[in-house]
Amino acid sequence: MATDLARAADRTAGRAPGHPAANRMGRRRWFSEIGWRHVVGVLAVVFAAFPLVYVLSASLSEGGTLTGSNALFEEVSLGNYAALNDSPFWTWMLNTLFIGGTTAVGTVLMGAAAAYAFSRFRFTGRRAGLTAMLVIQMFPQMLAFIAIFLLLLGLGNVVPILGLNSKLALICVYLAGAMGVNTFLMYGFFNTVPKELDEAARIDGASHAQIYWTIVLRLVAPMLAIVGLLSFIFTLNEFIIARVVLQSERNWTLAVGLYGWVSELLEANWGLFAAGAVISALPVLVLFQLLQRFIVGGLTTGSVKG
């Protein structure tokens, strides 16, 4: 493209192709129209990558402080990663994977079922239900942490497995909070699937369950992948509700456990915290790579059908 612009400038100015002035003019025009975008892109990548590189450098430093990591990778040691084996880190990791994975699967199944009902059926209270979900999702779930604490405190007296310090209770809380926003998100994507497919399947004798599981879900797989990934990331990063519900250290998630390492100002071990943060990011990276094909498909399909 830059070559075509340069040749056009040569013809306009009456200069022979390859003339030095013509080349300079072409480069200027190329930079003003296209080149500056590359500069902005490089600056954005550097801005986004620097905190990650800094945390990686801190995890490889034995000083245990962030201020000692100003010189990146001046000291390289795996001592912080080895020290994780002497801590409850891996227990927290398993708790997080269990809670996050279960919440992601439950969010996808519950949200997809509700979105299919709102998209395909017409019933009393349908519009009011959609409006209620739209309004409720405007308030973050953490605003209700006091009510959640009191609710689980009373529920634990009747059903101990659903009381405080229960991972199952935390999963139920997360599922209840994720129902509204994810249902509304998937509802819009379900509407892009032609209803004629449902009618053709019903003519062939398929039931609503068969249409839902064998046809519709396969067509909205990109959106299911996006919702599952976002739900898993939210669970991995959520701190307030997890800290309120989970009382014992053996049941903590990574967010709660890592915070405990740096909560005391005089005893904070930032090197150990950085090592744990680096490892805790790996499940998200792996999940993103596995679902990347569906994520890209969901974004492009939504932009075309929107």
Reported residue count of the chain is 306
Residue 207: pLDDT over 90 = no
Question: Domain boundaries in the chain?
Answer: 2-59, 86-305
The pLDDT of 89-93, averaged and rounded, is 95
- Give how far Cα 167 sits from Cα of 227, 238, 255, Å: 21, 14, 14
As assigned by CATH, the class of the 86-305 domain is mainly alpha
% of the chain surpassing 70 pLDDT: 85
Confidence of residue 107 (pLDDT cuts 50, 70, 90): very high
Is the pLDDT confidence value at 284 over 50?
Answer: yes
More confident residue, 105 or 71: 105
pLDDT of the residue at 4 = 53
Q: Which residues contact 220 (CB under 8 A, 6 or more apart)?
A: 112, 186, 189, 190, 193
Q: What is the pLDDT of residue 20?
A: 52
Q: What is the pLDDT of residue 9?
A: 47
Lowest mean pLDDT among 155-169, 195-209, 262-276: 262-276
As a whole number of Å, the end-to-end CA separation of the chain is: 31
Segment 36-76, tens digit of pLDDT: 888 899 999 999 898 888 888 888 887 766 665 557 777 78
CB 162 within 8 A of CB 152: yes
To 5 degrees, how large is the angle CA 15–CA 20–CA 24? 100
The Cα 29–Cα 38 span in angstroms is 14
Identity of the amino acid at 61: S
pLDDT digits (tens, 9 = 90+) for 117-145: 888 888 888 888 888 888 877 887 778 88
Residue 209 has pLDDT above 50, yes or no: yes
**Which of 284, 276, 293 shows the shortest CA–CA distance to 86?**
276
Q: Across all residues in the chain, what is the average pLDDT?
A: 82
Mean pLDDT of 180-198: 84
What is the predicted pLDDT for the residue at 235?
A: 92
Q: Are 169 and 241 in contact (CB under 8 A)?
A: no
Question: On the CB side of 25, how many CA atoms lie within 13 Å of its CA?
Answer: 17
Position 22 confidence tier, pLDDT thresholds 50, 70, 90: very low
